[in-house]
Structure 1
Amino acid sequence: MQWTCKQCIFSTDKRGQLLKHFRLKHGGFTRQQPIPCLHNNCLCTFKSFNALKVHLSVWHCQSDIGHASKPTVVFHCQLCEYTEPCTEEEFFTHLRSHLKLKQRVLCPYDGCDFHSNVYSTFNAHKSRVHRASATTHFKTEIVSNIEHKDQLAEVENDISSQDDSDCEFEESVDDIRDLESQLERNLAALFLKMQTILHISESASQEVIQQINQIHLLSQPLLQSKVQEIISQHCGDVDNSIVSDIINAVSQTNVILKFTSTGGSLSTASRRASYIQQEFPLVMPVEFRLDRDSSVVYVPTLKMLQALLRNKDILDKVLHLECGASPEGYHSFRDGSHFKENVFLNVEEFRIALGLYIDDFEVANPLGTSKKKHKLCAVYWVLANLDSKYRSALHSIQLALLCKVKTVKEHGYAEVLRPLIQDLVTLEEHGVYVEQLAESVKGTVLYVAADNLGAHALAGFQESFSADLFCRFCMCKQDDIQDKEVRSGLHQPRTREDHDRHVQEVIQDHTMARHLGVKRGCPLNENLKHFHVVNGFPPDILHDFLEGIVPAEMSLCLQDFMTKKYVSLDSLNKAIRQFRYTFSDKADQPQIIPKTFIAKRTIGGNGHENWALLRLLPLMVGHKIPEGDQAWEILMLLKDILEIVMSSHFTEELIHFLVCKISEHRELLQQTFPTYKLRPKHHFIEHYPQMIKTFGPLVDVWTMRFEGKHKFFKKVVHDTHNFKNIAHTLAVRHQKMMAFHLDSVLFFKPSVEIDKVRSVMISSFPENVQRLLHQRNAKQSTVLVASSACVHGVKYTADMIISVGCCSGLPEFQQITHIVVINTELLLVCKLLNSWYVEHLRAYELCFSGGGSLTVTQMSELNDVFPLSSYRVKGNVYVTLKRYILC
């Protein structure tokens, strides 16, 4: 049989050679991504090569290469209907699940009458009495088809031996040289991973290298004694010079010692840096000195674009999106009017679309003596040509520029961004040469993501939102926020022609700035032919909603609830602390409400926490709030709006529904709290329906993932404690991290990752499920069941709730029980659920349909890719959506 590498063109007739090739050429122990199974019809991925070898020996025997069919060893539980082919360890894991429920478990070994309902006592008995017991020692009623267990052991031994023997093939002189060169590269990649991924300092790495070399020297007498002993046993007395030659040969072939000892290519920090710069796709930053005390560190965008598009994984995904046809509605930026009206980007030939991001962030302790001293301004960019599921990976976000915030204030954006703008102008006019396409590809900036302050500062609008003309989308005045909605059409929208005229008027007369809302021109606008500020700065859900309106209105409404004595601050915080968060909600669980929230008029918190609080608050305290309460309805309308805004695709009907919800929320807020003044962010969200038509789904252009990029730089500063030329230090470390990722053939994680598979007999499922599984796996009596699966970064596991199908315009739900893998297909075995929409809670009440009957669901049938958590409240089970589901 011919074996082919999944990541390159290498092929061989021996599986062991393929395994060796994969370890050597595609990262080995330095690999950051999961390791895929060598078989093309298997979705499994692994964290280590040992796990891969075990999987190959158990699931892919040589006699049946095309199928993942483990020899049948069936275990039967005497306490339940558990009857599955599995390992001894998996069976005891099942027995321990009964012990956790305090059920009495009988020892499964033959001739043993021990029983217990205590978890620790049962484990102690097994460890003490049956430590050396084998599967053949089980009671006959516990294990069936025992003869296959012996076959399994034989197969495992045969395959293990076969893999080892396959690796022991003769090498030519050229092969040996290539092997040595590749091992040197792998060792360099390990050091690069230690520095950029594991954040181990160069001094610590150097100390480890020196200690390893020292230990090797001290162990020479042990090696010499052992070699002398072995030779004497087989050859009698041999001259000491022969022993010395053997020891020298062994030492010289030790890769770590050869390349890290004195004079080796990786022996010092400077030598390692030189090797990495020569052998890895490293694009080094350039420092531009503006004056004696100010500088800008810039990563050449054109060179970085070339490095990215040189990676086959990135280029394939970029071109795949280019060829994909968009269905009706708004699914990406390509469906928005901004892209469709861009005559430069909206053409048949491949054009590069860049999304920029600008923000200030603090790398030092914001409360210490260095507060604001080391505050940096960062400019990132991302290939908008990539699908949003790939753009969300943090290493997909590239660094363009770093400098201190005071440098921007002293020199202005035009001077600071000069090197970036020069590259962008070149990209527009001449393009960047892509080797794989053998042509130059042009491109431009599609949008600039930023918070409102950053967007207005770069675009040249008024940076004070208490100014009269505060909006970058229209000419709305401060006084008009309270009584004029955007949908009324009473606010004059900003146009390109009007904005260009306003900039010229402000240049001639600076006093016009407060009348026009424009302070200066935008350097991007002034230099790029195919970018304009009027439709180049989309709104940001994170700062407008999750860190703006949500915490402010939450504070307002909670104060009202406490005044009416529906809840107290202590009872609310107790509900937040004791709520049983599950799955992804565990990482995003909200913080308690501070005692100062009334005085501050906000509950604070970050975006993820506020999003989780708004979603789960109805399940925490909704039963305490009487139906019809207006303040509660304000929060529920806000929840409705956020669910719609967070959607990944829109129809014209849904956009119109959003307009109505925003208007209804505004009216009720002003009616319930007549003294409350609407904020500029309330006005911004009224532009969202039109902005969705302009940019497509706003969740694709928000700043959440960009802000996650700051964490890398903060981690570097925390570990290095070096503030000397901090911007240059961070930029160099970031580029080395990118070189590590770009050196891998697979830049992104596999689209599907499977964890901990086991074999389950199809006959153990209900008849309707058996029939559906046999349709896809007719020849096999078992299927692989995974403990969890990750599809494009979204994790699925048992007990999660998914939405499949619709009834009367409302989504229907199912609960995952098993994740089944059949060849390259992922199937979800689920319990059918009945659901009722509870408007007061803005949640769905769930119950099992027909006694919990099962069905099989394909991934393509999901209404929404994000699974949900169910929660039991007052004896009922509820699920609340993360984003609106179109039916």
Structure 2
Amino acid sequence: MKLFGILFSAPQIFYLFLLLYIAGIELNPGPFPCKSCAAVPETISCNIRHQHLHSVSRNFLYHCPAPSCIFSTKSFNFMNKHVSMFHSETSHIDPEATNTIGCVCESGGIPCAYSTTSFWELVQHLCTHLDSDVEVGCPILGCEYPNSFRKKSTFRVHLSQYHPNWRDEGCPKQHLRRNQENLNGGYLGPNCDEAMDTEDGGANISPDSNQNMFDDAAVIDCIAKFYLQLYGLHTLPFETIQDICNGIICMTEVIHAKMNQVLTEELEKLNIPQDQINLIRYKVMQADLLYASHHKDNSPGPYLSSDYYRREYFMKYFGFCSPKEMHLDEDDHDNHLRQEIIPITPTLLRLFQDPVICKDIDDSFLKQADPSNDIVSDYTEGLQFISENHPSKEIHIFVYQDTVNAVMNALGSAKNKHKLLTMYFTVGNLKSHRRAKVESKHLMMIMRESVFKEVKAPKSLEEVMKELKSLETEGILYKGENVSVAVVFIQGDNLGQHLIGGFIESFSTKFFCRFCEILRAHFKANPTSTSRLRTKADYTRCALRAMVMEKPIKGIKAGCEFNDLKYFHATTHLAPCLAHDLFEGVVSWDLAGIISNLIRDKWFSRKWLNKKIKAFKCVGADSPNKPAFVEKKGLKLGGHAVQNWTLLRLLPFILGDKIADVEHSSWKLYLQLKEITESFTPPSFYKSDMPYAQDVLLPAYFERRAEVLDIEKYPLNPKHHFLYAHYAFLMCLLGPLIHLWTLPYEQRHKFFKHLLRLSQNFINPEHSCAYRYLLHVTYMSSDGPTFQEECVEVSSKQMTPDLYSAKLANIVSSSFQEPGWRDCTSVCFDGLQYKKEDVLLLSENQGNILTGTVKVIAVKDNVLSFICELNEATFDSSLGIHTMPEPSGNLKCISFNELRYPVPHPIYFFRGRLSFSLKHKLLRSN
């Protein structure tokens, strides 16, 4: 008997099965249940074909159904390739099949004794006879093809064209062997390559024995999800969706009329009584669930032909809930003063069902910050959080507020008429890279900004504060345990932070800083001057005086509602935003001034620079944020925050040989600005480095700035003060500021802008946005977990040392001794894409950077490792970039969990060498 591609004798087979039985190992374990529904396909191949039905879902991954194999991929073809490579012996076998099918071939007059329960295995066996020049016939019962076959190619063509479902697994009753008399000598007829003639009523068509793995409820679920996708993902207007629905109703009615006509005619030819014909027609029509779900009289189940019925279905089966509308004034007869609330508690309970989120939360419960540790990697290691003595088990919340203009490019009186104030939250217990994703941002309140200002913060935030206080004192149920919920930070731009914090919403007033009490006149006279930091006692005293005197006191016009929470206070928990302060503020103004100076000194023209920017090809992570053109006026850069950051980093590569004098004062100022941004943007930093940034880097920069830039054309702004006076302290107080910037939240605004632009309905935009947002969330959560941790491979092969050069083979042999490791061309892991020859940044050593060029990507059981070629890139202080040396040949195996900076860094070819420009400073080598 042939097993696993090896020929065994009968005694060997007996002992092999005995050993497998003793070890508790099944030869063909099955059946193979679907991970996405309740279907239970019988074989691996049937399971994969069934998974293809689910592939319309967002971010769907094919999972290998073979036991102990956790391979997954987004590609149906690649999953088939994987099964062919690693599970070919068992992919078409139904372990529960009992009916056998035997081979009827003869060799030398001796009948073949082979039999199996798998039709696929029988075909493979018949191919071995063809290799031995033995003729075979079609083994499918009822096939009227008269000739036998001499070649595998013609045999397979016949099966594929005449019996497209020949791979049906197991041994169905209709797949019995053919009689010996049907085996005639001959050749494959000339019509083999033509499509089958169906005039004979389909007698030669092999019946499709594939079981329908979707029951009626699952089919209706797919139809409802289609509508949910139109509502929540494509944000089509309600009228458009109803037009689509009406079109489906019309088309199904026409199709059913034709089907009824054909059925009646054909059944009457068979002399079937009319009452039975009517019954057959009724059952056939009811089997069409697309028709039934859109015609109430014929629908045995849910009905989806109106917005009301669809919404009811979404609420019952997908967990959709409508937003809560709050009226803020009982005397408001026009119903103008209102807001939409999305309760936090149901959102948190839904998030707690996500295994990836739960894993991050559990890990955060075990994390203990060490105040003596010099490295700060997250907010929990900041001085403020440590001083507050939070319990180890606590759900942390970051609140974000901002305004979004519903009308694009509105002018005059319409400019702020429909401006919406939105409030989101993020679970702070998530790992920092997951907090940075837009999927982690959840809407909690939306209302018109004009209404917020009219009814004031206490009334506007009453419902939100009520729930936050309840969560803080009573907690929320997490894994059977009551856990408290605490607001850790409020995030936003400066204007929004002043609005929430009770500060004056103007930065041209006497007191413009929410962190200290510096006077604007003192700042103008001496930009490097500082003042006393605001304290809780001072804030409370000023807020009370402002309320009594009805005028601002030291820049404070009212108290902050969030101060009533246990840990929060407006003087310490209103986080700054790097994107607004640094990249859209300091970098935008100062780099524009530096470029203007270089243009003035004839290094290049503005036209030439914009032409080079247009032609420059960004790579890797820089590609989505190619620098914008420099504006003609030259007062500021023309891009958004990350575009400005990219231009700052890549300016040496763009200018190339136009860098005429590296000792030029403006170029020196550029290098200082670049170093400052690298100091304040790392995801991890040393607390001991902050005094150097505060006492050396910043004073030196502002001193040179005063000499280089025209103070009249490029004046200092409050954002310069935030950078100089507070950023170094805030880094130590709050943790890495890059984790607290607001850009991921602002990605959420795109959804609302797109929605309102499509609907063109501004009667009640806050309700439209909240309602469609919840439909969007319902659709996204209906497809499984929010975050995917699976390792998605592309073009993998079994890892064996003989595939590599001698050096690589040695490290492969020593590092991957266990079987099952696969070598991938590229892989997507935890949302990050890796491919061979990517460069990873490992650590810093006296200005030089240790890099690892990926040579091998190894994956096993959702564990990712790399074999990297180590090189030390040298720092060119005159250009602010790092240059990579010739390949060293020094190889090292590095697991994904060892990477401090897991994102591959963009590499550029500059002056004949591979070079790169840092985004931030790196931690030093141990």
TM-score by length of 1: 0.80
- The alpha-carbon distance between structure 1 residues 741 and 29, as it changes in their structure 2 partners (threshold 3 A), is same
TM-superposed CA distance for 1:844, in Å, is 0.9
2:451 is matched with 407
TM-superposed CA distance for 1:613, in Å, is 0.5
CA deviations 1:708-753 (Å, max 9, x no partner) are 1101111111222222201101100001111223334422123533
TM-superposed CA distance for 1:28, in Å, is 5.5
1:847 is aligned, of 880, 885, 907, to 885
- The alpha-carbon distance between structure 1 residues 780 and 241, as it changes in their structure 2 partners (threshold 3 A), is farther
- The alpha-carbon distance between structure 1 residues 653 and 42, as it changes in their structure 2 partners (threshold 3 A), is farther
1:61 is aligned, of 68, 80, 88, to 88
TM-superposed CA distance for 1:416, in Å, is 1.6
- 1:364 correspondence with 2:364: no
Structure 1 contact 45–755 (Cα < 8 Å) conserved: no
1:117 is matched with none
1:742 is aligned, of 778, 781, 795, to 781
Structure 1 contact 43–753 (Cα < 8 Å) conserved: no
CA distance in 2, matches of 1:9, 1:690: 55
- The alpha-carbon distance between structure 1 residues 160 and 523, as it changes in their structure 2 partners (threshold 3 A), is farther
2:188 is matched with none
Comparing 404-413 with 531-540, which one deviates more in the overlay?
Answer: 404-413
1:703 is matched with 742
1:161 is matched with 168
1:519 is matched with 557
TM-superposed CA distance for 1:451, in Å, is 0.6
2:809 is matched with 770
Comparing 628-637 with 246-255, which one deviates more in the overlay?
Answer: 246-255
Matches within 5 A, 1:323-338: 323-325=366-368, 328=373, 329-338=375-384
2:593 is aligned, of 556, 560, 580, to 556
2:498 is aligned, of 456, 459, 464, to 456
2:350 is aligned, of 277, 302, 307, to 307
Structure 2 contact 369–386 (Cα < 8 Å) conserved: no
CA distance in 2, matches of 1:335, 1:12: 50
1:322 is aligned, of 350, 365, 368, to 365
1:97 is matched with none
2:829 is matched with 791
Structure 1 contact 357–449 (Cα < 8 Å) conserved: yes
CA distance in 2, matches of 1:164, 1:534: 75
1:609 is matched with 643
- 1:389 correspondence with 2:426: no
- 1:635 correspondence with 2:674: no
CA deviations 1:581-624 (Å, max 9, x no partner) are 12222210011112122xxx212321121011101011112542
CA distance in 2, matches of 1:762, 1:230: 65
1:721 is matched with 760
Identity %: 23
Structure 1 contact 619–841 (Cα < 8 Å) conserved: no
Structure 2's unaligned 5+ residue stretches are: 1-28, 93-150, 174-207
1:653 is matched with 688
1:493 is aligned, of 523, 533, 543, to 533
Structure 1 contact 33–749 (Cα < 8 Å) conserved: no
Comparing 607-616 with 370-379, which one deviates more in the overlay?
Answer: 370-379
TM-superposed CA distance for 1:782, in Å, is 9.0
2:220 is matched with 184
The count of corresponding residues between Structure 1 and Structure 2 is 779
TM-superposed CA distance for 1:550, in Å, is 0.6
CA distance in 2, matches of 1:20, 1:679: 62
Structure 1 contact 301–423 (Cα < 8 Å) conserved: yes
1:873 is aligned, of 910, 918, 925, to 910
- The alpha-carbon distance between structure 1 residues 236 and 58, as it changes in their structure 2 partners (threshold 3 A), is farther
Structure 1 contact 29–190 (Cα < 8 Å) conserved: no
Amino acid at match of 1:467: T
- The alpha-carbon distance between structure 1 residues 635 and 283, as it changes in their structure 2 partners (threshold 3 A), is farther
TM-superposed CA distance for 1:847, in Å, is 3.4
CA distance in 2, matches of 1:407, 1:221: 55
CA distance in 1, matches of 2:165, 2:381: 56
SS at match of 2:833: strand
- The alpha-carbon distance between structure 1 residues 703 and 170, as it changes in their structure 2 partners (threshold 3 A), is closer
2:851 is aligned, of 793, 801, 813, to 813
TM-score by length of 2: 0.77
Q: Give me the CA root mean square deviation.
A: 3.7
- The alpha-carbon distance between structure 1 residues 325 and 524, as it changes in their structure 2 partners (threshold 3 A), is closer
2:487 is matched with 445
Matches within 5 A, 1:527-546: 527-546=564-583
CA distance in 2, matches of 1:569, 1:42: 58
CA distance in 1, matches of 2:813, 2:282: 61
- The alpha-carbon distance between structure 1 residues 341 and 8, as it changes in their structure 2 partners (threshold 3 A), is farther
CA distance in 1, matches of 2:434, 2:304: 34
- 1:284 correspondence with 2:284: no
CA deviations 1:741-790 (Å, max 9, x no partner) are 3334422123533345466875342112123333455577994423x323
CA distance in 1, matches of 2:818, 2:737: 47
Amino acid at match of 1:658: A
1:503 is matched with 543
- 1:205 correspondence with 2:241: yes
Structure 2 contact 74–792 (Cα < 8 Å) conserved: no
- 1:663 correspondence with 2:705: no
CA deviations 1:634-664 (Å, max 9, x no partner) are 2222212222222111222333343232232
CA distance in 2, matches of 1:777, 1:459: 56
- The alpha-carbon distance between structure 1 residues 326 and 809, as it changes in their structure 2 partners (threshold 3 A), is farther
- The alpha-carbon distance between structure 1 residues 275 and 366, as it changes in their structure 2 partners (threshold 3 A), is same
Structure 1 contact 800–816 (Cα < 8 Å) conserved: yes
1:587 is matched with 624
Matches within 5 A, 1:137-286: 161-162=168-169, 179-220=215-256, 223=259, 238-239=272-273, 242=276, 244-263=278-297, 264=299, 265-286=303-324
Comparing 548-557 with 691-700, which one deviates more in the overlay?
Answer: 691-700
CA distance in 2, matches of 1:497, 1:560: 47
CA distance in 1, matches of 2:56, 2:399: 34
Structure 2 contact 327–338 (Cα < 8 Å) conserved: yes
1:71 is matched with none
CA deviations 1:638-691 (Å, max 9, x no partner) are 212222222111222333343232232222212334746432111111311211
1:471 is matched with 513
- 1:418 correspondence with 2:462: yes
CA distance in 2, matches of 1:60, 1:808: 51
- The alpha-carbon distance between structure 1 residues 14 and 828, as it changes in their structure 2 partners (threshold 3 A), is same
Structure 2 contact 629–639 (Cα < 8 Å) conserved: no
SS at match of 2:352: helix
CA distance in 1, matches of 2:791, 2:324: 38
SS at match of 1:520: coil
Amino acid at match of 1:768: K
SS at match of 1:533: coil
TM-superposed CA distance for 1:449, in Å, is 0.3
SS at match of 1:465: coil
TM-superposed CA distance for 1:796, in Å, is 2.1
SS at match of 1:380: strand
Structure 2 contact 43–91 (Cα < 8 Å) conserved: no
Structure 2 contact 426–435 (Cα < 8 Å) conserved: yes
Comparing 711-720 with 793-802, which one deviates more in the overlay?
Answer: 793-802
CA deviations 1:471-524 (Å, max 9, x no partner) are 1111222233357677x8x5211111221122122223345x35x221111122
2:9 is matched with none
Amino acid at match of 2:859: V
SS at match of 2:851: strand
Amino acid at match of 2:83: L
CA distance in 2, matches of 1:705, 1:62: 48
Amino acid at match of 1:605: G
